[in-house]
Structure 1
């Protein structure tokens, strides 16, 4: 065959047709995939359910109602505000000194009770009721928080999804995690704070700012979050990162907290009205930690109660975890947040019995523990978490059944 014929034959060949690429088939909802998706919620709910079982046992022993215990102390204030607003709180509710004025209810932030009121009235007449609504809001917020904690666990240096899941278990098992099942605002605040911190680490500034602003309407601890989001936004702006978003996130972040404090100031006629209410009604004010040190020494000297001695131990553990987190170089926004929460708690006087509960929002202190357990054998991690869950469940149940004072 001549060269001309070969060329003609090649030209007459059919051009190669590329195989069409078919779209990837949708992922099937296997049991394993569904379990992975639900793992944070199942871990959180499982540990909290165990805590409620322990509470049920201790309530029966002490002749207490479980429902009454779960809505006691601050829960009564939140439910009163949810039912009738700040002006209609029952007269029987008084401050720590047994007193009450028209302004006393303003000491409680509006975020949690207003959401409870909205949920209770969503079906109109014959809805689920305020008490049930308060528990639903608390539980849902706890689950929402658990997914944020998993994200934080994967973002920290040396972290992983396993670290995040262990972090969820530690959070659900902390000694005062009983409030994550009560008509208290901690679960809602922690959910908003955790997602705000996720926004900071992921440079999602709008998420960080909006969640921070909402958290500022739930608890005064929002000030710690405002500090972190604001400082992180300033760092991003100085380094010219992420365009206009850090500006917007930083501006939004303090809106909720400052807005409520300003409103209380207008209602009381004092620019620092909320702080004055706290001081007059609960003896709470900044004293540099003198009251905390005095309480700790006295509690250790005469061992007045299990709750007080354990509270001192928890304070020491919290401070140690803060130092460990800094030494291990856990991301600075997470450690700054934990340090600020501890400072707001330990450097103030007021009700010493509430110190352990007020440390709960400093959940980023648990990250070094989660990192350490994630490197251990699964059996070691599980046994450790089970022991912590048992101890934490007992202590939480004790605090609202056997202990006779407000937490």
Structure 2
């Protein structure tokens, strides 16, 4: 088989572009059909927040304080005062604050928060509004993704929304954190990849690269998909433009930090100096897993190790299910960036939230079951995931 044959085969696995699909007429239930993804997402997130409120009350802490804690305080300060105005009371993991420390946080989310704050909303209200709205936008992308994948359907998409909204540490989607905004941009970028709408995919990928360093996983997935299209000589100039746009956000911010710090790898140096975070190929994660399984001192730490095992198992399931390769590449890359890095081990579960594509085969499998079985299974998973997130925020100081 020639190289052209291989690229043609890979390209043919991508669903046809949107303008090649037959139009669907509206019916009397169109409004209900349109709002269901949002209702499911917001319902699951509200259930999670109710659990959080219950546990917070038992601990004597306010939910609003929890929703802005840890990195949230950095994002709020950057949104309100800019990188140069972050108060010195905000420090890194070693209790230090320099003029460069805040540059470790990507600008996309605080910029969005700042736009709302500029029209009169408080910083916290703006941050939570951006997170909630982004989560809803992501829900519609996941519902669409569930219909586009092989074996997909409307039911698959809705189940995928529920699984994502109720995943362990999905509580971060309702916090003053950048997860929700990143996931919204990443999910829609991948949807556009599946539709072969390369310019839109590249633009959203560039936007995601301004929100989190996890944008590198998305750049890889979009870039490889574009490369296949280009080699197969499909979609013309659009693929070239999409590919050129995809890395601009990530490279742009890393370049900005390089100029500010005078170090080509300045952002990575900030991460290592401030939070002992660097890529070690997974050595620290394996060590953490072995030690925690040996002593089991913390429910959350053992739970985190279990979630790492589940995530790795989902990779195997996704490969066996022949998940569309751009989705598979993205999901694996997110896990590699998370599990392959040293740093705060308690954050591993939260950093796996953007690996939502690995939930697609689970959603497909549940969609094939009886409705009652699917509903009960999803409800159980949502309850367990919501409790994990609520307990982590209220009982464990290292989960975010």
TM-score > 0.5 by shorter chain: yes
Work out whether 1:46 is the aligned partner of 2:39. no
Secondary structure at the counterpart of residue 92 of structure 1: coil
Q: Distance in 1 between matches of 2:295 and 2:60?
A: 28
Q: Distance in 1 between matches of 2:368 and 2:320?
A: 18
Q: Distance in 1 between matches of 2:139 and 2:94?
A: 37
Work out whether 1:63 is the aligned partner of 2:64. no
Contact 1:153 1:161 in 2 (8 A): yes
1:357 paired residue among 335, 350, 355: 350
1:181 paired residue among 174, 178, 188: 174
Matches within 5 A, 1:107-256: 107-122=104-119, 127-256=120-249
Q: CA deviation at 1:406?
A: 5.0
Q: Distance in 1 between matches of 2:74 and 2:145?
A: 33
Q: Scaled by the length of structure 1, what TM-score is found?
A: 0.91
Q: Distance in 2 between matches of 1:27 and 1:149?
A: 21
Q: CA deviation at 1:33?
A: 2.2
Alignment-derived partner of residue 311 in structure 1: 304
Q: CA RMSD in A?
A: 0.9
Alignment-derived partner of residue 88 in structure 2: 91
What is the CA deviation profile of residues 292-341 of structure 1, one whole-angstrom value per residue up to 9, with x for unaligned ones? 00000111111121111110000000000011101110100000000000
Contact 1:205 1:248 in 2 (8 A): yes
Q: Distance in 2 between matches of 1:38 and 1:204?
A: 24
Size of the alignment, in residue pairs? 376
Secondary structure at the counterpart of residue 263 of structure 2: coil
Secondary structure at the counterpart of residue 91 of structure 2: coil
What is the CA deviation profile of residues 178-224 of structure 1, one whole-angstrom value per residue up to 9, with x for unaligned ones? 00100000000000000000111000001100000000000000000
Q: Distance in 1 between matches of 2:150 and 2:205?
A: 23
Alignment-derived partner of residue 20 in structure 1: none
Q: 1:252 to 1:27 in 2, by over 3 A?
A: closer
Secondary structure at the counterpart of residue 171 of structure 1: helix
What is the CA deviation profile of residues 213-261 of structure 1, one whole-angstrom value per residue up to 9, with x for unaligned ones? 0000000000000011111111101100001000000000000000000
Work out whether 1:35 is the aligned partner of 2:28. no
Secondary structure at the counterpart of residue 102 of structure 1: coil
Contact 1:80 1:89 in 2 (8 A): yes
Alignment-derived partner of residue 17 in structure 2: none
Alignment-derived partner of residue 99 in structure 2: 102
Work out whether 1:258 is the aligned partner of 2:251. yes
- Whose radius of gyration is greater, 1 or 2? 1
Secondary structure at the counterpart of residue 139 of structure 2: helix
Contact 2:350 2:399 in 1 (8 A): no
Alignment-derived partner of residue 328 in structure 1: 321
Q: Distance in 2 between matches of 1:206 and 1:155?
A: 19
Alignment-derived partner of residue 337 in structure 1: 330
Gapped regions of structure 1 (runs ≥ 5): 1-25
Secondary structure at the counterpart of residue 128 of structure 1: coil
Q: Distance in 2 between matches of 1:386 and 1:406?
A: 23
Alignment-derived partner of residue 370 in structure 2: 377
Work out whether 1:405 is the aligned partner of 2:380. no
Contact 1:73 1:406 in 2 (8 A): no
Q: Distance in 2 between matches of 1:235 and 1:404?
A: 45
Over 6 Å off, 4+ runs: none
Work out whether 1:73 is the aligned partner of 2:66. no
Work out whether 1:270 is the aligned partner of 2:263. yes
Alignment-derived partner of residue 17 in structure 1: none
Contact 1:307 1:403 in 2 (8 A): yes
Contact 2:344 2:398 in 1 (8 A): no
Q: CA deviation at 1:405?
A: 2.6
What is the CA deviation profile of residues 341-360 of structure 1, one whole-angstrom value per residue up to 9, with x for unaligned ones? 00001111000000000011
Q: Distance in 1 between matches of 2:248 and 2:397?
A: 37
Q: Distance in 2 between matches of 1:62 and 1:389?
A: 23
Contact 2:347 2:398 in 1 (8 A): no
Q: CA deviation at 1:404?
A: 2.1
Secondary structure at the counterpart of residue 236 of structure 2: coil
Alignment-derived partner of residue 22 in structure 1: none
